[in-house]
Amino acid sequence: MIGLLRRHLRRVAGRPWPLSSLTASQTELLRLVHRAPGVSVAAAAVELGLVANTVSTLVGQLTDKGLLRRLADPRDRRVARLTLTDLARREIDAWRDRRAAEVTQVLDAMDPAELDALRTALPALTGIAVRLRPGGEPPAADERRGTA
């Protein structure tokens, strides 16, 4: 059901250019870096459930496309920190705004009973998402801030 919802929302809101030609893994990495600027390659790998070498490959591809920057951590030069380029940030922000507007329009049209059912279901859906995350734990505070 969640996949169907995401597909319909993607059709309505579209995918942001230049992100439309990216793979799902590349897009997920960009979305993660958008949420957690400065996230390390290692932390991104854990969050996405990928091995660090795969994330490093994705980082190289996205850097070549001018969408991602890989910077050495000033405290530990062995650690790479990831940030979006201005172009990628603008496109992702615009995409997020279109998606939010579409969802808001649908929520505004729902009757109170449907909204109550949705509110009741949210904790259970959040629990599923947490349990499906690698390790079954919510992200640590430093991962959410991008300092891991």
How much is the pLDDT for 143? 42
Number of structural domains in the chain: 1
Least Cα distance to 133 among 64, 49, 61, 23 occurs for 49
Say what the pLDDT of residue 145 is. Answer: 40
Provide the mean pLDDT of the chain.
84
Measured between alpha carbons, how far is 141 from 31 in angstroms, rounded to an integer?
18
Domain containing 85: what range? 2-145
pLDDT of 12: 76
pLDDT band at 137 (very low <50, low <70, confident <90, very high): low
**pLDDT attached to residue 138:** 57
Q: How confident is the model at residue 147 (pLDDT cuts 50, 70, 90)?
A: very low
Question: 34-37: long-range contacts at Cβ-Cβ below 8 A with a sequence spacing of 24 or more?
Answer: 34/84, 34/88, 34/89, 34/92, 35/144, 36/143, 36/144, 36/145, 36/146, 37/82, 37/83, 37/84, 37/146
pLDDT, average across residues 25-39:
93
Instruction: Give the mean model confidence (pLDDT) for residues 102-109.
Output: 92
Q: What is the pLDDT of residues 50-105, one digit of tens each?
A: 999 999 999 999 999 999 999 998 899 889 999 999 999 998 888 888 889 989 99
CATH number, position 15: 1.10.10.10
